[in-house]
Structure formats: C-alpha cells, structure tokens
Chain A
C-alpha cells in the first residue's frame, strides 16, 4: 500500500491539537501561586519603614526560617491574623518575621503596629505595591515561609488562622 505522507501529517497535526486541548482542559489554570513551593524567592531590596536601612534577601539568609508576611493597615483580615503573628513571634525562636507593608500610608502602618503590637523582626515598605509582585502576591494578607536557602516551603493566601499557625510551628521545629 502506498503511504500518503500528506494525509499522515494532517491527521497527526489534528490529533496533536486536539490532544493539547484535552490536556489543557484537565489543567487547573486559575492563577495559583501555591505551586511556587520549592522555588526560591527572587532577590529583593526594600527600604525599612522605621529608618533608612535596606532590607534585602541577604538578611534572610542569616535566619533559620523567615515568614514573609504581606500586610496593610487598611486590610481587615490582617487585623484578624495579627494575634497569630504575635503568638508566633513569642513562641518560636526559629522563625523571624519580615513584614511587608503593602500599598499603605507610612503613618497608618506605624499606628497599626503601635496599637496592635509589633510581631515583626523587620518591617519593609512597599508603598506602591510593586515589590510584592516579585513574591507572586495577588492580595493581602499573604504569607510566605522560606528556609535558610530562601526556598519557599509554604505559601498562605489569606489570613493565618489556628490551623495555618500550627502548620507553621510544625514546619519550623
């Protein structure tokens, strides 16, 4: 039998297209940053909210674990999770907490910390929200737990509750 390459090519092409569509269907394509786990965070450099110091990824390499918490004074769920951050700061010496103040006013942010207490070892400001994009953030609050090598171990989208708090404790034992 004569083999018709043209037909074979056409059919394989169509099959390939349909197959990709089928695979695409099965894929969850809603934007989900939790799958960033295992990646390293990119290097960053942010101004501290208290003084003119710079906070960079180098600083985090000195900590066993760092929880990067993105917060804002205008964000109600941030107030909700705040008590867990304070508990974490008091209970777990392995974890240092870096707060990133997201699209906020400096005074409001400082008031927020004065009133509710400051669980953060460092607070950096990201007033226009641009730097937080580097962390794959798409809302506040969001928390990223990284280890000494700056590899992301856990990503929490939304406020930290009792369950997330216990999980962080377990991961950082």
Chain B
C-alpha cells in the first residue's frame, strides 16, 4: 500500500519536472515581466508531492511496513522510534529521496523568494534545477527505488547497523545534505546567469543568502559528523583524513572561497567569472563526493552496500553536468577586465581564495591519488594524516595571520595608523603563547607558531567585535564571529594535539594501574539487557594524583542482536579543562580487558569554537534576510 503510494508520488514528481521545464521555456519567450501563474502552481504541486513521498517512506519506517524492501533491510520492530525515523535516511535509497526533497525545496524557495530579480534569470535557474531533479528522480526510479516492494512480506526486518544508531549520526546526513544539495541552486543560478546575461552585482545579490545558508549547514554537518566519530568510533580522534571525510571537505573549501568572493562581487562588481566558476565547482565537487562514496570506489564507514551500476549512473550524470556547464561557460562568457588596487580589501579577500584553492587541491590530490594509482598501475597505497599535516599545517600560519590583517583594510584603500594597534595585539599574542609554553613545558616549532597566530586572530577579533558593537556596523559582525571561531578552533586543536595523553594497557577486574598523573582502578563488570542490545559495562575509578580528584567512568561493550554486531562505547567525562576518554574491549579467551585511556585537554572548546564558526554564517544569513 505505502509502497504503491510512494512509487506513484515519485512518478508525479518526474512528470511535474518535465511540465515545469516545458512551461518555463514557453514563458521565457514572452516579453512580460512576471512569471506565469501556472509555473508557480506546478512548483507548489511538485514540492507538495515530494514532501509527501518522503513522509510515505517515513511512515513505512515508523509503522515497520516490511513489504517495502528498504524498510525490511534497514529497520526492525524493536528499534527505538528515533532510530526508525533516522533509518529512513540511513541507507542509500532513502538518502537519495532526501536528496531529491532538498533539490525540490530549494528550487521552490528560490522561485518564490526572488521576485525582485530578472525573470529570464529566474526561469533559467528553475529549468536547470529541474534538469537536476529529473536526473536524480530517474536515478531513483531506475536503480534505487526506496519504495520497491517485497513479497511474501517478511515478519521482521534486518535492523539498522548499530554504529549508525547514534543521535549525532541521525542528524548528520540531513544537515550535510542541506549543505551539499543546497549548492545545486547556485549551480543552476550560475548557468542561468550566463545564459540570461544577468550578471555582476545583481547575480551576487540573488545568490548570496543561498550561499550563506548552505555554507552554515555544510559546516554544521561536518562538525556533527566529527563529533560522532569522536564519541562512537572509540579512537578518541575527531578528524582522520579519511577519504570520505575529505569528500565532504572539498565542497566546503570551494564554498568558503565562494562566500568570500561573492562579497567582492557585490561590493565592487568584479570577479564575476571567478564567482561563476566557484558556483559550478562547489556543486560539481558535491556530486563527485557522492560518486566517490556511493560507487564503492572508496571503502569506509560511509559506503553503503556496493552496486557498480549505481556508480555508473552517478558518473554519467556527473559527466553530463560537468560538460554542459563547462561548454555553456566557455561559449557564453564575456571578457572581463580587472582593475585592482593591490592595497585594498578585495586583495585580502582574494588571498582567502588562494588558500582555499590550495587546501582544496591538496585534499583533492590526497583523496584521488590512491584511486588513480590503483587504476593506472595497480599499486595500492593510502594517503593518511602525515601527508596532510606536512602540507597543510605550515600554510595555516600565514592563513591565520592574513585572516587577522585582511579585514583591517578598507574596501578601496586603507590608513596606516591601524597598523600600530595590530602590532600591540601581536605582541600580546606572543606573550600569551609564552605563558602556555611555560605552563605545559612542551615545545613544538609549528605548534607554537600556530598558537601565536591563532591567539593573534582571536584577540584581534575580540577587539573588532567591541568596535563594531560601538559603531553599530553590523555587517562586520558575522565575519568577526566566524573568524574568531576559526582562531579559537585552531588554537584549541593546537593545544589539544600537543598535550593529549594516550595510553593502552590490559587490566583485570579488581586490578589497579598507575600512570604518571593518574591511577586507574577497574572496580567491576556488570551486564545489562536493553531493548535491542545487551551491554557489558565496566566501572572504573580514575584518581588524578595531582589534586586527588576522583572520577567514575563506565565504558560499554554492546552486543546488538539485529544485525549481530559488537560495538565499543567510549566513556567520556567532559569537563571545562579536559576530557577523560576511556574505552574497553574484551581480550578473547582471557579475563583481561584491553583499556585505552586518554586525557584530551580543552576538547569541549574545540566543538564550541567550531559551532561559533557556523554561527557566523547563520548571523550573516539572518542579516541578509532582514535587509531584503
């Protein structure tokens, strides 16, 4: 029943897309200034049916309708409701439906929120957005239909992978999708802008809000994913330079560059071509990322069951997208002249772009090189953290430095006296770093330079924030917040990286282990039966020898029944100054447990500063909406 309803809705979306494209083409030829009513109506129907189709799938999961293969494969009656809901996008087919939902949603919102802009531009955007929708709906129908039915109807489902049963992971895909798929709208808008010659400042105004909102969601999605890795994977790390993480980082670099360039385009009406390239690149990288993850070319926690035909379709679609956009770009582009004053704000904003493109290229090479090598020479290698650390860390120092200096320059030209203030701040940053050095008694050349420049950025941002509050120049505020967040993030990661403690050892219940600053006592093990898993819970007493502070930690080993899997849940005590992180795993055929103990200073502040970065984007978005 639900399965039929869902399939019908998907076909309706397909039909409506075709109708919208046809009607929009007819309407472009009309000379009147307003878009015809029927296009609005068709779009409204399209978004309604799309949302309905998603709710149909959701209903299938909530009521455990196992006649739908997708529900049967990814759900189970004993699963808590929250994970039944999250299960609907925790698999390839369901997530593709979510993807289409966001495509359609952005298409509709762009149509109704942009009346001030040129009609031809809006219609072309709608047409290209609907071509994208069409492509993905056809993919869904041919290859990945979440509504395929199964007969006879199974009595019980196979369950969701336990590693995915985590609150952070339940919201990670929707956030990331809004971020990545949201880019589609300015991909379409960029092509539309070239075709309708609606360029320059006007184009910047039309896409700005969309860039901010998708940037914010991408940032949030990446943060939540990394929080999940920290809590769930039990290694105590939060970024692994895993190819799939990299795939999410690639569009983020492009969109961050875009976000900065679009400001230049708006204020100075220059860089139009570059902004177009970034618009196209961001979405192309998003789809490339999807291809890498879904085709099974990369193996990782994100890879769903592999199916080569799936990869082939995405690849075809990707090629079509790239070639269409590049051909249109080359054919229709107008020569642009650049007149730049070197000592001005746009130079510094462009500096950001140089860094972003460098990081983008580095991560792209690191991610694709193993694939290329494997295909071309059969050699298997993996590129890991050492590569990224060597290439990226030194470049972070000038980046932080320029992030502080850049915004101090006026739009066209700047005064010299501000430099003095900046110098004082730099001296302050070096002094603070000396204190940190003195306190931790640990020296690393790069880490110290990074800490100095990060502190420099943080202090300066705080001063700027004070000034902007006084002078009521609000448009600066979001920039200050994001830059402050980034400075803090790098600072905390630096301290965290340099001063973390990690120790592995084996322990029996009742035994004590003495470390430099800690004493760990393994009190006992208890067994608990939960709704869909059984857990073995260890109880540990951790005594900090310096201040006689006692903490209790209870890591778990969970034994899930559907499907049968073991997961190790870390016990984490989050405190203002540091996280205590403890995981235990059983050693087969012995009474010993393998214990991994970590002390991670200032961990909570890493998350807080990452959220501050995202907050900046949100503030910018809200301000732009109010201006309009």
Contacts and interface: CB of A to CB of B under 8 A. Distances in A.
A94 B291 CA distance: 51
A17 B371 CA distance: 11
Contacts of B322: 14, 18
A25 B589 contact: no
B374 interface: yes
A18 B319 contact: yes
Contact of A25 (B312, B323, B326): B312
Given A14-B326, A18-B322, A29-B297, A24 B371 contact: yes
A23 interface: yes
A170 interface: no
Contacts of B376: 20
Contacts of A21: 291, 295, 297, 315, 371
A139 B552 CA distance: 37
Contact of B375 (A11, A24, A30): A24
A153 B576 CA distance: 60
B326 A23 contact: no
Interface residue tally on A, bucketed by range: 10 to 19
Interface string A3-16: 00001001100100
A130 B198 CA distance: 64
B297 A25 contact: yes
B319 A25 contact: no
A98 to B, nearest CB: 25
Given A10-B326, A14-B326, A20-B372, A25 B311 contact: yes
Contacts of B227: none
Nearest to B589: A74
A7 B589 CA distance: 64
Contacts of B295: 21, 24-25
B318 interface: yes
A25 B295 CA distance: 7
A114 B295 CA distance: 49
B346 to A, nearest CB: 25
Contact of A29 (B318, B326, B330, B374): B374
Interface in B249-271: none
Contacts of B326: 10-11, 14
Interface in A19-66: 20-27, 29-30
A-side interface mostly:
helix
Interface residues of B, number: 23
Nearest to A11: B326
B410 interface: no
A24 B374 CA distance: 8
A20 B318 contact: no
B563 interface: no
B331 to A, nearest CB: 10
A129 to B, nearest CB: 13
Contacts of A74: 588-589
B390 to A, nearest CB: 25
A149 to B, nearest CB: 22
Given A22-B315, A25-B308, A25-B312, A14 B297 contact: no
B315 to A, nearest CB: 6
A24 B315 CA distance: 11
A133 B291 CA distance: 32
B588 A29 contact: no
Contacts of B291: 21
Given A18-B322, A21-B297, A24-B375, A7 B308 contact: no
Interface in B295-319: 295-297, 299, 308, 311-312, 315, 318-319
A172 B330 CA distance: 64
A22 B330 CA distance: 25
Contacts of B296: 29
Contacts of A23: 375
A28 to B, nearest CB: 9
Contact of B371 (A7, A18, A20): A20
B554 to A, nearest CB: 29
A44 B181 CA distance: 52
A20 B375 CA distance: 7
Nearest to B310: A25
A112 B323 CA distance: 64
A29 to B, nearest CB: 7
Contacts of B374: 24, 27, 29
Contacts of A27: 374-375
A29 B299 contact: yes
Contacts of B372: 20
A67 to B, nearest CB: 26
A7 B330 contact: yes
Contacts of A7: 330
A18 B371 CA distance: 12
Contacts of B308: 25-26
Nearest to A103: B588
A24 B297 contact: yes
A71 to B, nearest CB: 16
Contacts of A22: 312, 315
Contacts of B588: 74
Interface string B407-435: 00000000000000000000000000000
Nearest to A105: B589
A32 to B, nearest CB: 11
A14 B323 contact: yes
A74 B590 CA distance: 12
A157 B583 CA distance: 32
Given A10-B326, A21-B291, A21-B371, 7 more contacts: A14-B323, A14-B326, A21-B297, A24-B297, A27-B375, A29-B296, A74-B588
Across chains A and B, which 5 residue pairs bring their CB atoms closest together, nearest first?
A25-B311, A23-B375, A24-B375, A24-B297, A18-B319
22 contacts: A10-B326, A14-B322, A14-B326, A18-B318, A18-B319, A20-B371, A20-B376, A21-B291, A21-B295, A21-B371, A22-B315, A23-B375, A24-B297, A24-B375, A25-B297, A25-B311, A25-B312, A27-B374, A29-B296, A29-B299, A29-B374, A74-B588
